[in-house]
A and B are shown apart, each in its own frame.
Chain A
Amino acid sequence: MDYQSILYEARDQTVYVTFNRPESMNAISRQMARELVEACKQIEDDSALRVAIFTGAGERAFSAGMDLKERAETSFSPIDRRNQKISATIHTQSRAIAAMTKPTIAAIRGYCVGGGLEMALACDMRVAAEDAKLGLAEVRRGLIPGAGGTQRLPRAVGVAKALELCLTGDNVTGSEALRLGLVNVAVPAAEVMKAAEDLASRILKGAPMSVAFIKEAIKKGVELPLEEGLRLEADLSAMIATTEDSKEGPRAFAEKRAPVWKGR
């Protein structure tokens, strides 16, 4: 697909998806939303790709969130929108990112607010500039964070802090976000992409199916009672044991060499 509002760049096993509307602080237009859904599908379908890094074009913003100018200008059916968000077919960018089986990393510089933060929250891990600004200010626009923010933020930072941030609409810096557990890593802005790539390259040392199953075990399991989560883990562990890579790993260890993964 020919992307107009995002950049899609596959390099080796990593794909870089860049929100590319720097003139609008990478605000999420309807077109960008559609393209992101498509891009996520493309990433999942490409067996050569193993990690996705999402970032914003330019220095000023990861993404400022929903394009409010566009929103003010277009007619809007709340019911249609709700149906879109919950239908079995994925229509929204945050759901598309959250549904990916491959690991996702948000590389955040500048403003990461509203729908922008919601997209970052939909990623598995976040690397932020120390002076990045993260927040959910929908309350001040007569809206609510409707792309997962009210659900993913408390799960990341706890209810009290999530209430504080969502009700005030205040931003936190990347450093503060590190302290809160909202981001995994906070570094000077110039080092953000390198830090994201470091994280990706360490993940790429693991076997592909192991990476996918661990992601599933952790993300799904954490929502289950412990006993059910342990059962999920046991099932995934049994499935992994049927792969060739699960034999290659121990063999490579015994032979004191790097493993060669086949992804099956």
Chain B
Amino acid sequence: MAEEKVLYEVKDQIAWITLNRPESLNAVNRDMVRAIVGYCKQANEDRNVQIAIFKANGERAFSVGGDIKDRVRANESGAGSEAESPLVIRQNRHSAMPGTPAPAIAAIDKITMALVHGYTVGTGLLMSLACDIRIAADNARLGLSEVRLGFMAGSGGTQRMARLVGIPKALEICLSGELYDPQECHRIGLVNQLVPYDQLVPAGEKMAQSFLKGAPLALRYIKEAIYKGSEMTLEQGLRFESDLQSMVMQTEDAKEGPKAFIEKRPAAWKGR
């Protein structure tokens, strides 16, 4: 069953989405794209979820990318296959499956995190780029090898990479198709944190727990302020930030926070 290739579990306000096809180094086939897109929506709509974390089973890879056998099959079945037609996919019909899960991940309003290890290539890296935070294990090898398959890092690969690491480094990564070691990725800001492989999930949990000390709406508004604000002029961004601040100050949580502080107890967030 396709769903078993991707696992979904909600625990303590975190939705864990786990790639589970280690025998194929977590190559992401169409069924898995469908499953991930579904879980992204589920996590986004679940009021009990504040953070979505992506990880993968098997030691050797987070994901080696899109399932190339799928692509060859699609190419050989010819242009008549409407489901594969880039024209249809491009038209953004909600029922058309995107080529990779990246757009669905980027559309999550909650905080998203990718815990990457081993081969993190192509679609694997695209998925993690669509997340807010990346933590890499010291055995990770990251790259965008699409250029060597005759196409491009789509699904935001070129766009997010350039905005993350700057144009010269993004050019180098996307044009060369090479694998980069995690130290370099950490140095250039592609990943937020670098940890030993056996510390990967604990590091993710630790960061998630620190986020969860913040009120749910504050988390989401901060995310929005930072992403959207960065695309505006500073003055517009400041205005935007101020509006979001006004909104969040209206919440019950914004009153609970200072009260809990003074009463020397943990805040009990309500998410409103």
Min CB gap B81→A, angstroms? 11
In angstroms, Cα B109 to Cα A80, docked, is 13
Partner of A87, one of B44, B90, B92: B44
Are the CB atoms of A264 and B82 closer together than 8 Å? Answer: yes
A74 at interface, CB cutoff 8 A: no
B221-272 CB contacts (< 8 Å) to partner A: 247, 250-251, 272
State the main secondary structure of chain B at its contact with A: loop
Asked, given contacts A79-B250, A87-B109, A88-B109, whether A264 binds B87 with beta carbons under 8 Å apart, the answer is: yes
Are the CB atoms of B45 and A89 closer together than 8 Å? Answer: yes
Are the CB atoms of B247 and A82 closer together than 8 Å? Answer: yes
Are the CB atoms of A45 and B95 closer together than 8 Å? Answer: yes
In angstroms, Cα B86 to Cα A69, docked, is 46
In angstroms, Cα B107 to Cα A243, docked, is 31
User: Which residues of chain A are near B107, meaning CB under 8 Å?
Assistant: 88-89
Q: Chain B residue with minimal CB distance to A96?
A: B94
Partner of B217, one of A41, A79, A101, A242: A79
Q: Chain B residue with minimal CB distance to A47?
A: B82
Are the CB atoms of A101 and B82 closer together than 8 Å? Answer: no
User: Which residues of chain B are near A89, meaning CB under 8 Å?
Assistant: 41, 44-45, 107
Asked, given contacts A78-B250, A87-B109, whether A243 binds B272 with beta carbons under 8 Å apart, the answer is: no
Partner of B87, one of A41, A83, A87, A239: A239
Size of interface on A: residues with Cβ below 8 Å to B: 20
User: Which residues of chain A are near B109, meaning CB under 8 Å?
Assistant: 83, 87-88
User: Which residues of chain B are near A182, meaning CB under 8 Å?
Assistant: none
Partner of A79, one of B82, B86, B90, B272: B272
B85 at interface, CB cutoff 8 A: yes
Min CB gap A178→B, angstroms? 32
Min CB gap A236→B, angstroms? 9
Min CB gap A230→B, angstroms? 18
Are the CB atoms of A79 and B251 closer together than 8 Å? Answer: yes
A177 at interface, CB cutoff 8 A: no
Are the CB atoms of B91 and A212 closer together than 8 Å? Answer: yes
- State the B residues within 8 Å of A (CB): 41, 44-45, 82, 85-87, 90-95, 107-109, 217, 220, 247, 250-251, 272
A-B contact pairs, 28 of them (CB 8 A): A41-B94, A41-B95, A44-B94, A44-B95, A45-B93, A45-B95, A79-B250, A79-B251, A80-B272, A82-B247, A83-B109, A83-B220, A87-B44, A88-B44, A88-B107, A88-B108, A88-B109, A89-B44, A89-B45, A89-B107, A101-B93, A209-B87, A239-B86, A239-B87, A239-B90, A242-B87, A243-B87, A264-B82
- State the A residues within 8 Å of B (CB): 41, 44-45, 77-80, 82-83, 87-89, 101, 209, 212, 216, 239, 242-243, 264
Top 7 A-B pairs ranked by shortest CB distance? A88-B107, A101-B91, A45-B95, A44-B93, A87-B109, A239-B87, A79-B247
